[in-house]
Amino acid sequence: MKKKKNFMDFVPCCNPVYTWDADKKGIVTVHVVNKGFYNWMAQKLFKRPRVSHIKLDEYGSFVWQQMDGKRTIYEISELVKGKFGKEAEPVLERLVQYFRILYQNKFIGYVKQK
């Protein structure tokens, strides 16, 4: 019998391919190096940057900094509730969508569970 996995038990971690830093206010900027033939063409023809800097908002920055490869999505949601309170509602729906977007764009992965 296959055991069903609960998304709230997943443990997210930042993709080590991308570097990031936070400013004094705690806003995270993720640095993405644009590699590959099509990116090279865009850089040459359309003057696109070699490195894209993706600035996260206050909520996204807080969540990004909580991903340590040990905390589950549920634990992170509790931290978000504690910091932002009612402003972050509905926390779980927003957080699940946020993690799906990050995963689809390969900004995060999930640590294998035992």
Q: What confidence tens digit (pLDDT) does each residue in 54-92 have?
A: 999 999 999 999 999 999 999 999 999 999 999 989 999
Calpha distance 33→97 (Å, rounded):
25
Q: What residue spans define the domains of the chain?
A: 9-111
Domain 9-111 has CATH 3.20.20.70: no
Token pair, residue 10, equals: 């997943």
Q: Helix or strand or coil: residue 40?
A: helix
- Predicted pLDDT of residue 114: 58
- pLDDT tens-digit map of 22-45: 999 999 999 999 889 988 888 889
Which DSSP string do the residues of 69-112 spell out, in sequence order?
SSS-HHHHHHHHHHHHGGGG-SHHHHHHHHHHHHHHTTSEEEEP
- Predicted pLDDT of residue 5: 76
* Among the listed residues 39, 65, 38, 37, the one whose alpha carbon sits nearest the alpha carbon of residue 51: 39
